[in-house]
């Protein structure tokens, strides 16, 4: 059966973490996988999560199956968090959610639903997260790319992006990043999003918003703006949501797929399809992470605590960005890294080739992701000077 099965290379992001762990060099710097880290290099369990987890464990009376759409209460709480309790679409039943195994599970479930629809193709701006295209094309949909970011200029190439968007029609899906664009950190402005919505109304394509860093760009309310606007103004919207980063629940695989249908009846139909497709793949999502999130979002105290902790994480990421900019300014880099200070979330894309990325890893023990993506959470007081010197030698 498996005589011809080939050995595959490691995953470009997760595989890098393994190589990093095995690297014996003491001065190694991990700018790879997208996890939040403190200045001490730790990815902590949030206090609100610890407390909620204890409540879940203490009150759990059974390990019997959960409902097909996940831990009770989770999906509804995520809808309220993302759309706002006053959202008309939410109140009138135009939106629904199912819990999924992480954001990846949500993306894949959406891909499977789209593969069973009348989709022509899915379009995504380039570059995008290294797993988007493999994950979605594995669902059997065809993927097209249009330009999004000019790496040499370190800015969004909006003219080229919008030109690609204008060519989309009613059978097309446009994959967007909710906030904290991965891998560039460069988010569309509100004005640019408004333009996208106008074109979507005119051309009829379906926006699919991948939201994996809610709360990390400008805060929970502002980061939800793109989803809220699109849900309010467009007839159909898909959203994949991840609790990996904002609840720090990475390994608990906790996410959601959210859909807005043209009518409440269509939304019910979409919900039923999602559950049925999930049943054919993984039956139902793991309950633990969903139960923790539900516990937090159902409690005023835990929600306040969680929001405060998330805000502290967000401001640490902003500080790291500003530190990089300021240390770079004191070297031959001058203002070359200023763009990092204007971007959001964990990632920025350095204007370096894949050869240079490899050279940095082999010669300097500096781990960036292929394409030049760095996670600014890997920067701290003890490594920033060496890192900037190393970068000054490779960025012109």
Q: Which residues are catalytic?
A: 129, 210, 245
Q: 33 vs 141, which CB is nearer to ligand LMR?
A: 33
Residue from 36, 90, 94, 129 binding ligand LMR (CB under 6 A): 129
Q: Which residue is nearest to ligand LMR (CB)?
A: 34
If the CB atoms of residues 106 and 302 are measured against ligand LMR, the closer one turns out to be 106
95: tokens are 């939106």
Q: Does 13 sit near ligand LMR (CB under 6 A)?
A: yes
CB of 108 to ligand LMR, least distance (A): 12
Residue 240 lies near ligand LMR (rule: CB under 6 A): no
User: To the nearest whole angstrom, how small is the minimum distance from the Cβ of residue 133 to ligand LMR?
Assistant: 13
Residue 119 burial class via C-beta count within 10 angstroms: exposed 0-12, middle 13-18, buried 19 and up: middle
- Residue 249 Cβ, how far from ligand LMR at the closest point, in Å? 13
Characterize the bridge pairing of strands 95-101 and 254-260: antiparallel
State yes or no: residue 333 binds ligand LMR (CB under 6 A): no
The answer to whether the CB of 343 falls within 8 A of the CB of 323 is no
> Is residue 339 part of the contact set for ligand LMR (CB under 6 A)?
no
Interface with ligand LMR includes 131 (CB under 6 A)?
A: yes
Cβ closer to ligand LMR: 33 or 113? 33
Q: Which of 182, 240, 364, 383 binds ligand LMR (CB under 6 A)?
A: 182
392, with CB counted inside 10 A (0-12, 13-18, 19+), is middle
Place of tokens 């206090």: 47
d(CA 358, CA 353) in angstroms, rounded, equals: 9
Of 20, 30, 31, 33, which lies in the binding site for ligand LMR, with binding defined by CB under 6 A?
33
Tell me the two tokens of residue 209.
């918003």
The radius of gyration of the chain from alpha carbons, rounded to an integer in Å, stands at: 21
DSSP 323-379: HHHHHHHTSTTTTTTHHHHH--SSEEE-S--HHHHHHHHHHH-EE-BTTTEEEGGG-
Contacts for 342 with CB less than 8 Å, ≥ 6 apart: none
Residue nearer to ligand LMR on the CB measure, 131 or 229: 131
For the CB of residue 33, give the shortest distance to ligand LMR in the complex, in Å: 4
> Nearer to ligand LMR by C-beta: 34 or 248?
34
Residues near ligand LMR (CB under 6 A): 13, 33-34, 129, 131, 182
């Amino acid at each position: 059966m498996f005589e011809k099965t080939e050995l595959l290379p490691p995953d470009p992001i997760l595989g890098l973490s393994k190589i990093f762990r095995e690297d014996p060099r003491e001065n190694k710097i991990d700018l790879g996988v997208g996890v939040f880290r403190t200045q001490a290099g730790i990815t902590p369990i949030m206090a609100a999560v610890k407390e909620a987890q204890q409540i879940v464990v203490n009150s759990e009376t059974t390990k019997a199956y959960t409902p097909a759409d996940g831990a009770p209460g989770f999906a509804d709480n995520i809808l309220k968090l993302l759309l706002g309790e006053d959202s008309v679409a939410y109140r009138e039943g135009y939106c629904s959610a199912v819990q999924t195994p992480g954001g990846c599970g949500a993306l894949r479930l959406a891909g499977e639903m789209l593969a069973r629809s009348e989709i022509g193709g899915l379009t995504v701006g380039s570059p995008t997260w290294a797993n988007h295209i493999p994950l979605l094309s594995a669902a059997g949909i065809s993927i097209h790319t249009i330009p999004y970011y000019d790496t040499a200029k370190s800015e969004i190439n909006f003219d080229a992006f919008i030109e690609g968007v204008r060519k989309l029609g009613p059978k097309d899906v446009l994959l967007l990043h909710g906030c904290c664009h991965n891998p560039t950190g460069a988010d569309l402005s509100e004005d640019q999003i408004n333009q996208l919505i106008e074109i979507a109304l005119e051309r009829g394509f379906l926006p699919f918003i991948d939201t994996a860093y809610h709360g990390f760009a400008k805060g929970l309310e502002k980061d939800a703006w793109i989803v809220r606007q699109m849900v309010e103004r467009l007839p159909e919207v898909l959203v994949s949501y991840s609790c990996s980063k904002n609840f720090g629940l990475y390994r608990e695989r906790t996410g959601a797929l959210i859909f807005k249908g043209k009518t409440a009846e269509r939304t019910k139909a979409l919900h039923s399809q999602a559950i049925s497709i999930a049943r054919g793949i993984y039956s139902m999502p793991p309950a633990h992470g969903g139960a923790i999130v539900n516990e937090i979002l159902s409690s005023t105290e835990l929600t306040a605590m969680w929001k405060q902790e998330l805000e502290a994480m967000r401001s640490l990421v902003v500080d790291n960005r500003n530190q990089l900019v300021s240390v770079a300014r004191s070297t031959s880099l001058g203002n070359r890294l200023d763009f990092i200070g204007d971007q959001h979330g964990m990632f920025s894309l350095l204007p370096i080739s894949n050869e240079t990325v490899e050279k940095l890893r082999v010669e300097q023990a500096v781990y960036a992701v292929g394409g030049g993506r760095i996670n600014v959470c890997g920067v701290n007081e003890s490594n920033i000077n060496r890192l900037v010197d190393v970068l000054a030698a490779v960025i012109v």
